[in-house]
Amino acid sequence: MASDSTNKRGSDGTAETSESKRVQIHAGGGNGGDLHWQLTPPTADTPPTYKAWEVDYKGNHAKVLLRTITNLFGSNEHAPYLVIVQSSGAGKSRCVYELGSSLPLISLNLREYSETSGFPARDTQICRLLHRGADESSRDDKRRLCAVFLAGVLEAALSIILENNLTDLDPSDWRGLLERNKQSFDERAAKRANELWEELSPDHEVIILYVLPAIQKLSSCFKDAPHLLLGIDEYHTLNFRHTTSKGSDEYTTYDALCDVLHYLRREKILIIFMSTTFKLGRLAPSIGEQHIKQHAPYVSLPFDVYDGGPIITEDELTLTDVCNTEFLCRFGRPLWYTRWKCGDAGVQRRIIDFAMLKLNTFASLQRISNGAKFAALSIRLLLTFEPDRHAPSVSTETYQEALGKELDQVASHMRVVHSVPEHCEYMRTGTPSEPILAEAAGQLLMREDQVKCLAEALNPLVGTGEPGKLAARLLFNLAHDATILGLESNGFENPIYARPIPFLDFFKNLFADQWSEAILDSTPVGGDSTPFKDAFTDCYVHFTHWAKIGDESCITTEALWKGLARGIAWQCCGNMLDIDLVIPMLVGKESKLGCDTVTALFVKIQSKSKGQIVTLRKDFASTLFQSGTHHPLVFLTMQLGMKLSEAKPLQETTAQTAIHQGRDSQNDSKDANITPAAGGGSLPLSRTSNHNRYDISAIGCSSRIYRAVKDEDKVHWRHILASQKLNDEHPFKGPGHLDLLLQSKPFFSNSSFGWGGNKADADRMIIDQNTLESDPEMVEETVAIGGVWDDEGILSEDDTFP
């Protein structure tokens, strides 16, 4: 928010000018008479980025940050600065701006000259001064430059206050006064710094003679101000290296500034650096000449704050309602909804394109970069980067390459930083649920071969979870996308992928024709004899991306309807042994989303090394549907390329033996409609009277089983299938920090659903598994209905992938 009148282009290509947002200030007479300031009300022509800063701040993030820095800087043993790192649109600048209502704040922006858009505006003269540091070959000169920069900034701020003859200033009033005089401040600070530069005084003399007195005088102008606060946005531009004929000097202007700031650790000033672009080694620089303990980077910023209340309430909206573009924008980082709320019809119409451009670093959408493709795959499929302790065999070069890719994903492709441990050797990042970004990711990949793109993206440090689960998520996504393309157009400006789709059509696009017809005619394991196609004829799914769910206590009807609201299909964390994936379904397209109107497709992925045949316990449905409204559900077991001869023999427990004996004595034909391969026998599962549960078991991963698998992609599927807890490492463990960490949705836990209001607390379900010893003989790829494996034939290498 500067008064620089230079025109610039906004993120969506519209012209933006900082003159469109002026500050009105009315000051009383001497002795700091009443000082009032206000921002000129935005007009219809004001760009949305500027208008967004007029929206009331939501959430408690600024308060938590204020409490954090107050605690952090209570000790003189630490450096007097904190680094905030997070991807674009997360609200870094606005969060620090809000601190200006509690602490006297001087905000600076050091954005690169090549970036003609962005908000707040660049402090051009100060940028020119500091960027000169990259040309200084001497480390002493770099530190001297940083010292005169601090002196110039502080003295310029003091001069503005003295000119207005003000005392006992309130931090909020000072923030407005600085905004009104920002261009003048920028020029004064650079001019004064250049004057001091010419004196050739070493950095420590500049600190003693100019910086320390300026801090004391400036602090005395405010009432009840424990510290001054200097916010430096886009600080990464200080990391440019000086290059000579002898090579590149690792010591940058940022390192020099951190060294100079160490002189101030006992003074009443705090510095906050902010950026999306960073290098882990320079978050807490060890290359500098001062050896003071650094603070861990801070990453907790607003997520899912919307308008301060529930985003949706149970039994309020239909599936069609939540697929509206405006609703998609309510979730995730504040960028989306503030842009929608503050934008005109044209901005709203182009917001999906805007999200696509953000993923593609604002390059033309005619050419999608590899980084954008990876980001889109990560959003839709939950790709993760793993620290090197999870892949000890990889080379240093591979690790550095993966780390660099992860940093680039955060800086340029909207990946979110969940936590950076204090040692700063790696970070925990992810792509938490943001429906508008998931829609953009789907459209970016629309013309891409997703199977090939995914196979090419994987390496030892790109974590996928278990390969079978990744392959299953991809299969479901491909079936979903194929179903979408078969629907009538939803309009050019509306979401393409965020749409309700009939569950039966989705299932037809999942399995090959020879299996889909048999599935549609099948009947449930327990309950009545309603065919599959009749039971689910009015059921709909809506998922554009996957999100992790923390444990089995979260698998409830609450999670189902709220998953539908966000367009989420659930991936269960690794400690859940019985269910791996959950795709929620709505019963009735025009039904309101709530606990009484949902069911699901539950999926268990069986690995090649574990030959367990799994079913659900008898009371699964009654436990899930606590309200008494029981809907049919599907339990699908997928063994992607497994050979039963590779399965480890399982020893039956006493309890399992009793189950089998009960099954033998109660084996009733009405329990299941078994569809074995022609001429083959069967190995039936333990039968339970589970209310209208349709069991399906599929072995293999080829075009014989799944419609989405193409023969030409066989090598890519083979590659995909071959292929410390976050909160323990999070450095900020005080009150509120874990809540803010979980608010960014690294995974969903019981506390992650506060964005939707419930009629009543949902009860949690309990599931378990019954296992039978697998037939040691190899079997062909097949689909069995009613939880039955066909034991005839041999799986060939052509039919299934090792």
The pLDDT, as a whole number, for residue 780 is 65
Residue 153 sits at the vertex; the CA angle it makes with 148 and 159, to the nearest 5 degrees, is 120
Q: For position 738, what pLDDT does the model report?
A: 65
Between CA 756 and CA 564 the distance in angstroms is: 12
Q: Taking a C-beta distance cutoff of 8 angstroms, is the pair 326, 318 a contact?
A: no
Per-residue pLDDT, 395: 59
Count how many residues are written for the chain.
802
Measure the CA–CA gap between 322 and 34, rounded to whole angstroms. 48
Cis previous bond, 120, omega within 30: yes
Predicted confidence at residue 312, as pLDDT, reads 96
Q: Which of 603, 779, 601, 793 is nearest to 700 (CA)?
A: 779
- pLDDT attached to residue 118: 75
In the block, tokens 């993923």 appear at 359
Question: What residue ranges in 179-244 does DSSP mark as E strands?
Answer: 228-233, 242-244
Q: What are phi and psi of 615, to 5 degrees?
A: -135, 180
pLDDT at residue 294, as a whole number: 78
Q: Where are the beta strands (DSSP E) in 676-768?
A: 682-683, 693-699, 756-757
pLDDT value at position 377?
A: 97
User: What are the Cα distances from residue 195, in Å, to 110, 142, 188, 682?
Assistant: 21, 16, 11, 90
Query: Is the CA virtual torsion 548, 550, 555, 558 positive or negative?
Result: negative
Dump pLDDT digits (tens) for 212-241: 999 999 999 998 878 899 999 999 999 877
Report the amino acid identity of residue 360. Answer: N
Residue 88 in 3-state DSSP? coil
SS3 content of the chain, % helix, strand, coil (to 5): 40, 15, 45
Provide CB contacts within 8 A for 546, sequence distance 6+: 380, 381, 382, 473, 568, 569, 570, 571, 581
Per DSSP (E only), the strands in 317-465 are 384-385, 416-419, 428-430, 462-463
Helix axes 370-381 and 351-359, enclosed angle (nearest 10): 110
pLDDT number for residue 735: 60
Supply the pLDDT for residue 10.
42
- Residue 729 has what pLDDT? 54
Domain ranges of the chain: 7-52+79-283, 312-723+731-790
Tens digit of pLDDT for each residue in 144-180?
999 999 999 999 999 999 999 999 999 999 999 999 9
pLDDT of residue 72: 79
Give residue 517's pLDDT.
Answer: 92
User: Which residues of the chain fall below pLDDT 50?
Assistant: 1-44, 285-289, 388-393, 609-611, 642-690, 724-725, 728, 761-779, 788-802
The pLDDT, as a whole number, for residue 636 is 95
Q: What does the H/E/C string look like for 303-338?
A: CCCCCCCCCEECCCCEHHHHCCHHHHCCCCCHHHHH
- Say if pTM beats, i.e. exceeds, 0.85: no
